[in-house]
Amino acid sequence: MPQIQILYWRQIPAQVRVFDGRRPLTEQLPDRFQQHIDRIAMREGLAGTDEYLAQWNWSSKQECEGDAQQLLRQTVDQLIADHAPETQEPEAQEPDARDTPTLTTEPEDV
């Protein structure tokens, strides 16, 4: 039975691998995930440090039924959908996005 494992930097997913047989199938998430990780690491002064490396962790393996290739694709697609830029908290978005004011009411005529 295939097993899925996800690589995270803190709580940000970066890669998925599915074990089914001798060699795992792996796929990195789109570049925006690594760019987001790098921005946070740079902002916190962690880039190139042991502390940065210590933040990387694989999830425990989860057994799933189905075809390994399909499970890989479904998992990657789900992570992308779950971490879409418009669904992230302001702190997780681009720095400019949280600095942009949002108009919540119509301006009054004076």
Tens digits of per-residue pLDDT, 12-67? 999 999 999 889 999 999 999 999 999 999 999 998 889 999 999 999 999 999 99
Instruction: Indicate whether 110 pLDDT > 90.
Output: no
Name the DSSP letter for residue 22: S
Q: Give residue 88's Cα distance to chain centre.
A: 11
For the record, the structure tokens of 100 come out as: 């942009």
Gap between the Cα atoms of 68 and 24, Å rounded: 9
The phi, psi pair for 79, rounded to 5°, reads -65, -40
| 45/41 Cα distance (integer angstroms) | 6
Spatial neighbors of 90 by CB under 8 A, at least 6 apart, are: 97, 98
pLDDT at 88 (0 to 100): 54
When pLDDT is cut at 50, 70 and 90, the band that residue 98 belongs to is: very low
Query: What is the C-alpha to C-alpha distance for residues 69 and 74, in angstroms, rounded to an integer?
Result: 9
pLDDT at 5 (0 to 100): 98
